[in-house]
């Protein structure tokens, strides 16, 4: 059990009021970490933090809400500062919040949608990672996990810009791992396949796409948020202490066939 023990550690999870982010926050708290719940809507953050405090936390750990729009640098700074004001340290960062405002051929995406995708999925992660790393230096260690996607590993006809942004996230992790490894700071990506979340609703609600994906997946099903959350706990804990710069694929086998 001690391999996965997160007692006395503090985690920030962006986009943690639903889907993969919420499942991740639940499981980090279950393993003993303080957890900062963050998304754009304060009411949703409050509700999730309350639920975690009632049902998931262990020992003296607790969850607190800090709303944040990841597209605004000053709000990311406030997220980091608010975490430090409450807990005094940041051991774990999970960059989960992302957008996919366009679903269709790459040639038809508007400049606005393309820019929004890159700003939310790449620039905000770059900003937040750099802010948190300076604090991880103070405690001589830490774990950063960026939730990427298998869309960053292969070409897809309807989510091209999203795939570009997710490939960039993998490179962010590789760069951070190389630069800050000597400081005992690890950075990794997780690349999920199709997971049952609101974020993936455009794919889940298309019966043809869903049927095709299920049939082409060796496990013959789509994934669940908890099946990604477990890998985040692994990377954040001593069990993952020698893993850095990697992209862990969690897709039911889609990318191996």
Residue ranges of the domains in the chain? Answer: 2-197+224-250
Q: Give the catalytic positions in this structure.
A: 162
For residue 158, the model assigns a pLDDT of 86
pLDDT tens track for 187-203? 999 999 999 887 667 66
φ, ψ for residue 64, nearest 5 deg: -130, 150
pTM value is 0.95
CATH among 3.40.50.300, 3.40.50.720, 3.40.50.150, 3.30.70.1140 for 2-197+224-250: 3.40.50.720
- Binned at pLDDT 50, 70 and 90, residue 1 comes out as low
Instruction: Determine contact, residues 19/195, Cβ cutoff 8 Å.
Output: yes
Average pLDDT for residues 93-121, to the nearest whole number? 96
Instruction: Determine contact, residues 211/194, Cβ cutoff 8 Å.
Output: no
What does the block give as tokens for 190?
A: 């997780």
Report the DSSP beta bridge partners of residue 92: 11, 143
For residue 203, the model assigns a pLDDT of 67
Q: What does the alpha-carbon distance between residue 22 and residue 188 come to, in Å, rounded to a whole number?
A: 19
pLDDT tens track for 137-160? 999 999 999 999 999 999 988 899
């Amino acid at each position: 059990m001690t391999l996965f023990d997160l007692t006395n550690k503090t985690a920030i999870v962006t986009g943690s009021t639903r889907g993969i982010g919420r499942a991740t926050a639940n499981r980090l708290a279950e393993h003993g970490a303080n957890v900062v719940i963050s998304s754009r809507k304060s009411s949703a953050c409050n509700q999730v933090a309350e639920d975690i405090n009632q049902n998931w936390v262990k020992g003296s750990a607790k969850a607190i809400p800090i709303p944040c729009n990841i597209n605004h640098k000053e709000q990311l700074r406030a997220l980091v500062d608010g975490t430090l004001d409450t807990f005094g340290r940041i051991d774990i960062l999970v960059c989960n919040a992302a957008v996919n405002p366009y679903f269709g051929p790459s040639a038809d995406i508007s400049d606005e949608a393309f820019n929004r995708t890159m700003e939310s999925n790449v620039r905000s992660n770059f900003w937040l990672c750099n802010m948190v790393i300076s604090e991880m230096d103070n405690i001589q260690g830490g774990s950063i996990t960026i939730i990427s996607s298998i869309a960053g590993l292969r070409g897809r006809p309807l989510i091209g810009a999203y795939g570009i942004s997710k490939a960039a996230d993998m490179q962010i992790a590789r760069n951070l791992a190389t630069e800050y490894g000597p400081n005992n700071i690890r950075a990794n990506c997780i690349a999920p396949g199709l997971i049952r979340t609101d974020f993936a609703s455009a794919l889940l609600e298309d019966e043809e796409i869903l049927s095709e994906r299920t049939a082409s997946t060796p496990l013959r099903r789509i994934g669940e948020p908890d099946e990604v959350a477990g890998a985040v706990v692994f990377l954040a804990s001593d069990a993952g202490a020698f893993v850095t710069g990697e992209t862990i694929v969690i897709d039911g086998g889609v990318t191996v066939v």
